[in-house]
């Protein structure tokens, strides 16, 4: 039976083996933000005194009651979308963040909204879902608490981010025995077909292995624009070939440290069937923050849900 220390050791070995600056597939964004990464403190708690991960921002552990923080987020939520606060997805996200000792902040609430949107529009049932570039396990942890919808979740990410996710998954109470780290097609197929495995961790360097398994849906939230254009094209090729649905939420455009500009409407969408959007994401207007100025306003952000089947 795997334990968290053993899985962390495996991921730390990948971090040590990978040389980010030598890879043409790693964007300038991540070369900059991982320059001072410390595998022994992936969430930056000892350095920053609070949870922070360069490149993923931070999540809130503000010194105010959770109830006050939640009511404040409800007050600034977009009209017409507050039903999420009465949904089972919200209750799952609320319970996950409570176990992690964090506030029910914007990043958590928006994933409740995404999970609710997927239930309404694609009705996943016993599905295998792949989340590309999840941050702070915001999609993964609640998906694991919805087993009727998501039988198996494949999380593709840089090894450093997977290492940070493991800390939060352990705090959320996810059993280590249901997690597998894989690095090739054969081990990926074996893990996905194992009924005891609920979460598969796949380093981004091995993402081509996704083409060898059946995936019902893909999710990317606010991270595709942190990749190179070639990497984005490869992910879209995999998604289209899988004939899966795909939920994508990213900024209208984002400029990377080397001057590269990545635009939402220039993603290689192909010719999908649009189930939602493309349209401005209603949740990306404003949100309550645990630190001054206490209200965050976002750059224009789009989302879309498409189907390639």
In this structure, what are the phi and psi dihedrals at residue 247, rounded to the nearest 5 degrees? -100, 125
Instruction: Read off the pLDDT of residues 40-84 as tens digits, 9 standing for 90 and up.
Output: 777 776 555 555 665 566 566 656 677 777 788 778 777 777 888
d(CA 309, CA 302): 22
d(CA 247, CA 249): 7
Instruction: Read off the pLDDT of residues 179-189 as tens digits, 9 standing for 90 and up.
Output: 999 999 999 99
Asked if 106 and 287 touch (Cβ cutoff 8 Å), the reply is yes
- Position 23 scores a pLDDT of 65
Angle at 126 between CA 94 and CA 171, to 5 degrees: 35
- In this structure, the number of other CB atoms found within 10 A of the CB of residue 158 comes to 24
State CA 167 to chain mean position distance: 15
Dihedral over Cα of 269, 270, 274, 280: its sign:
positive
User: Which tokens belong to 241?
Assistant: 């070939």
Give how many domains the chain has, as a whole number.
Answer: 1
Asked if 93 and 112 touch (Cβ cutoff 8 Å), the reply is yes
DSSP state of 134: -
Q: What is the CATH number of the domain that holds 165?
A: 3.40.50.150
- Position 24 scores a pLDDT of 62
Asked if 102 and 61 touch (Cβ cutoff 8 Å), the reply is yes
State CA 154 to chain mean position distance: 11
pTM metric for this prediction? 0.91
State CA 107 to chain mean position distance: 10
- Position 141 scores a pLDDT of 95
- Position 256 scores a pLDDT of 84
Range of the domain at 191: 4-307
Dihedral over Cα of 144, 161, 225, 209: its sign:
negative
Residue ranges of the chain whose pLDDT lies below 70? 1, 19-25, 33, 45-64, 290-291
Q: What is the DSSP string of 251-287?
A: ESEEE-TTS-EEEGGGS---SPEEEEEEEE-TTSSEE
Alpha helices in the chain (DSSP H): 4-17, 28-33, 45-48, 66-76, 88-100, 106-121, 140-144, 159-171, 185-192, 229-242
């Amino acid at each position: 039976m795997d334990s968290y220390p053993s899985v962390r050791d495996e991921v730390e070995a990948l971090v040590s083996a990978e040389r980010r600056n030598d890879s043409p597939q790693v964007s300038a964004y991540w070369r900059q933000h991982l320059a001072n990464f410390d595998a022994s403190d992936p969430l930056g708690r000892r350095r920053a005194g609070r949870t922070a991960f360069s490149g993923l921002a931070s999540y809130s552990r503000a010194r105010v009651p959770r109830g006050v923080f939640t009511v404040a987020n409800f007050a600034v939520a977009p009209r017409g979308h507050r039903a999420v606060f009465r949904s089972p997805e919200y209750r799952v996200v609320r319970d996950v963040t409570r176990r992690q000792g964090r506030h029910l902040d914007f990043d958590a609430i928006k994933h409740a909204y995404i999970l609710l949107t997927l239930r309404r529009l694609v009705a996943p049932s016993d599905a295998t879902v792949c989340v590309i570039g999840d941050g702070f396990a915001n999609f993964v942890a609640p998906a694991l608490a919805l087993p009727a919808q998501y039988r198996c979740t494949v999380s593709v990410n840089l090894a450093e981010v997977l290492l940070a996710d493991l800390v939060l998954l352990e705090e959320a109470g996810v059993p280590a025995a249901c997690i597998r780290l894989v690095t090739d097609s054969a081990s990926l197929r074996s893990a996905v077909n194992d009924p005891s495995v609920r979460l598969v961790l796949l380093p981004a360097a091995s993402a081509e292995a996704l083409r060898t398994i059946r995936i019902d849906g893909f999710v990317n939230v606010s991270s595709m624009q942190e990749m190179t254009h070639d990497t984005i094209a490869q992910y879209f090729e995999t998604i289209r070939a899988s004939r899966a649905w795909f939920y994508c939420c990213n900024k209208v455009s984002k400029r990377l440290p080397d001057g590269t500009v990545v635009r939402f409407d220039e993603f290689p969408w192909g010719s999908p069937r649009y189930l939602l959007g493309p349209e401005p994401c209603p949740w990306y207007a404003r949100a309550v923050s645990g630190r001054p100025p206490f209200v965050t306003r976002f750059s224009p952000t789009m989302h879309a849900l498409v189907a390639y089947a």
